[in-house]
Chains A and B, each alone.
Chain A
Amino acid sequence: MKLPYICSKNECCCRNTGNCPGTELPKIVLVGNPNVGKSSLFNSLSESYAVVSNYPATSVEITRGKGRIGDREYEIIDTPGMYSLHPISEEERVSQRMLFNEKPFVCLHVVDARNLRRMLPFTVQLLEAGTPLILVLNMMDEAEDRGLEIDMEKLSRLLGVPVVGTVSSEGRGIEELKTEIAKFSPSGNMPEIDYGSNIDPYLSEIESQLAVAKESGISKRAFALLLLQEDLTALEKVSEKEEKGGCGCENRRSCGLRSIAEAASKQADSPLTYLITLKRQAYVNEIVEQVMPDTDPGDTEGPGRRKEKSETAARKEKSGVKKIALAENIDSILTHPALGIPVLFLILYFGFYRFVGVFAAGTVVDFLENTVFGAHINPWVSAQFTALVPYPLLQDLFVGEYGIITQAVTYAIALILPIVGAFFLVFSIIEDTGYLPRLALLVDGMFKKIGLSGRAVIPMVLGFGCSTMATMVTRTLETRREKLISTILLALAIPCSAQLGIILSILSGNPKGLLIWAGVIILEFLFIGYLAAKVLPGENPTFILELPPLRRPRLSNIAVKTYSRMHWYFLEVLPLFVLASVLIWIGRLTGLFDLALKAMEYPTQWIGLPVDAATVFLFGFFRRDFGAVGLYEMHDSGLLTGVQLVVAAVTLTLFMPCIAQFMMTVKERGLKTALAISGFIFPSAFLVGFIVSTLLGALGVVL
């Protein structure tokens, strides 16, 4: 198993900047539809690591890495999946721009071998754009399971580009691919598609007027096609040029590339995109019929449809049929309107409550905190330190109540690490099976009521891992409104893994309290979502999502993914915890700490908690998980009653997003929105805490 090489952001990933050392290397760009295995191919070609999961739109950013193929070094670039060269969503536009702007040495178009008919139109588009191309037929194993046979040689001849079959998750075909890359030279072959009388004349007119095709980064023909389809990026380029008067034609009046496009779309009876796509598909269908002669899409099931089939293929297909039937049965339970919900609860109960809450956050943390650190490491370190450094001031900083070693390091290693580790493990398994898209299908109807489409369940679920990552994933949602609502909900009601794990463990001895806590959080989630959907202008989103097949999670992938996320989380959390220790130390020296604590005491008492609980919220300001750690300590020392525990857990869950999430919200949604969200959250968390505390008090509930 190859462990990922994790680099600091500014070292090798150098996003957006063009001046990092890697830019001199020839570039290999991976493009293709979502979920076809680009990132797993990236991982086997480069030294870097990109997350691989079984749902569309896993990668939302461009990832760069270096890799050696033959005796040359290359820069390898993984892109977010896109459906065509004419992008619809924001993350697709990122990939389109990168194809336009960076001149790749070779572009690997990764496709799912099961779905040639659906995938090749994009290949054709790339060829029309003049991109230097190798076609990678990935997921050959699944194609074989379904008894599909593809004549790759013929496909390569028809398209005029190298074709390689791979199984990137197992590393099959990677060597062949590397050989093809090493000996690659662009063919310049361009498919000649007849787009019909509605389009061709306009196409050639635009092409003839495009004097300088080079600077757009793609061929004239592809650019003209994009223009006819009113592609935003193409339109931008045209406006730039027309403003500068640099479009190259003599008479600027008659130039107007845009007006040609408008004329073309006026005379056609259907949108031009529709016509162009259909013609391209017809072209692809002809190719597919030649390379896969035995499959007629109109009649996939009839007996005797396959003429002659090699023996090995037949054997593979036979074992494949069983695998597919099993996946099929599980799938029909997961997506069942009635059975789907109980299955969801089973997953939540065993995966999260039992494993993360009770086992990791309970048993493991207890052992690490009280036995390993509490009884052995910390007393020893304290004794050593006190003997070596006789200054009480420094002793306080390192081994005091809030000391760097006794608090920051202990918390990070004994509490946070096992909890987030367990969480990310469960998460990775769920992601890799392909359950998340099924969940999206299940909740779409309900999510529509809070202004979201079922797709939004993916960032919401990821938010339980880390809300910062999840806030970034909201960019895969389609409308601004949907992005905004999901960002608000992530900041407000979704606890992050460490926080959730600790709360589950604290409340695990108290099932009624746990139910009340969960009920309040779910109600708040729905209520705020409902309000936001009512208040924010705009239409409800539509829902369309590709459902990848259910797959058996691969151990190596789960291990690498869990490890890399833990690594990342730990590196993020440890310095901040240390910083907190230092700040508290300074605060206590100057008296500011007590002042801040005093200020927090008012809202704390207001929601019916003892004065000491103010530290929890003060910590919570710093980081959510830090606050949860504070709560854990209070619970450990038996300072809170059952009701108080529930109130504190509710308030803390609804409390401020951490600094990292705040920064991410600023990046994705802008400073004003981020400030508005935070300004709303602080009072509303205490308000809900107050309501719960008052209600439970009035009803005389004892927990």
Chain B
Amino acid sequence: MKTKSALISPIEPDRTDTGNTPLSSMEAKKRGKISHLETKNPGILQKLMAMGVLPGMPVTLLRRKPSFLFEVDQTRYAVDREIADHIFVSC
């Protein structure tokens, strides 16, 4: 199944991969799938993972303003641009 394979797939795919954009540059109301997380900042990475924002999960961006609002599975998250920069989505 695609969910599983995405999860076990290489952890740091090629950044130049077409269609891999950070959540912060996605358009509102668009759906996609989280491809990977930026791992440079351990604090943010750990927080995102603990809260269930993980590669392989489908994601819908609901709002860009006043803050980024997105939905993963059945949960909604509000984040600022800095965090949204750490989430990469493939459409």
Which A residues fall within an 8 A CB radius of B?
Answer: 83-84, 86, 88, 114-115, 117-119, 146, 269-271, 273-275, 277-278, 281-282, 285-286, 289, 296-298, 300, 335, 337, 340, 437, 440-445, 448, 453-454, 542-547, 549
Contact = CB atoms under 8 A, between A and B. Distances in A.
B44 interface: yes
Contacts, number: 130
6 contacts: A297-B73, A335-B63, A542-B83, A543-B78, A543-B80, A544-B47
Given A115-B52, A274-B37, A285-B4, A88 B11 contact: no
Contacts of A441: 66-67, 69, 78
Interface in B45-88: 45-52, 54-58, 63, 65-67, 69, 72-80, 82-83
Nearest to B76: A547
B73 A543 contact: no
Contacts of B78: 437, 440-441, 444, 454, 543-545, 547
B13 to A, nearest CB: 12
Given A115-B74, A118-B52, A296 B3 contact: yes
B12 A270 contact: yes
B73 A118 contact: yes
Contacts of B66: 335, 337, 340, 441-445
A469 to B, nearest CB: 24
A211 to B, nearest CB: 29
Contact of B67 (A118, A278, A543): A543
A149 to B, nearest CB: 14
Interface size class of B (residues with CB under 8 A): 35 or more
A46 B48 CA distance: 34
Contact of A289 (B1, B44, B57): B1
Contacts of B33: 298
A300 B52 contact: no
**8 closest Cβ pairs, A-B complex:** A118-B52, A83-B50, A441-B78, A547-B76, A543-B80, A337-B65, A114-B74, A282-B7
Interface of B: 1-4, 7-8, 11-12, 33, 37, 39, 42-52, 54-58, 63, 65-67, 69, 72-80, 82-83
A296 B45 CA distance: 25
Nearest to B48: A544
Residue from the set A146, A337, A544, A545 with the largest chain B CB neighbour count within 10 Å: A544
Given A297-B57, A337-B66, A543-B67, A277 B49 contact: yes
Contacts of B43: 88
Contacts of A542: 44, 79-80, 82-83
A442 B8 CA distance: 37
Contacts of A300: 58
A271 B49 CA distance: 12
A285 B77 contact: no
Contact of A86 (B2, B3, B50): B50
B4 A282 contact: yes
B7 A274 contact: no
Interface of A is mostly: helix
B7 to A, nearest CB: 5
B4 to A, nearest CB: 6
Given A273-B49, A285-B3, A335-B69, 9 more contacts: A270-B12, A271-B39, A275-B11, A281-B54, A282-B8, A285-B7, A298-B2, A543-B80, A546-B76
A114 to B, nearest CB: 4
A296 B46 CA distance: 26
A465 B17 CA distance: 51
A84 B55 contact: no
A196 to B, nearest CB: 9
A345 to B, nearest CB: 16
Contacts of A277: 49, 54
A166 B44 CA distance: 33
A136 to B, nearest CB: 18
A286 B58 contact: no
Nearest to B66: A337
A89 B65 CA distance: 27
A115 B1 contact: no
A274 to B, nearest CB: 6
Nearest to B31: A301
A84 B39 contact: no
Contacts of A453: 80
A11 B19 CA distance: 61
A275 B11 CA distance: 8
Contact of A546 (B3, B56, B75): B75
Contacts of B48: 544
Given A441-B69, A544-B48, A298 B58 contact: yes
Nearest to A122: B50
Nearest to B5: A282
Contacts of B65: 337
A115 B80 contact: no
Contacts of A274: 11, 37, 39, 45, 49
A445 B74 contact: no
Nearest to A278: B7
B82 to A, nearest CB: 5
Nearest to A286: B4
Residue from the set B54, B55, B69 with the largest chain A CB neighbour count within 10 Å: B54
A546 B77 contact: yes
B3 A273 contact: no
A340 to B, nearest CB: 7
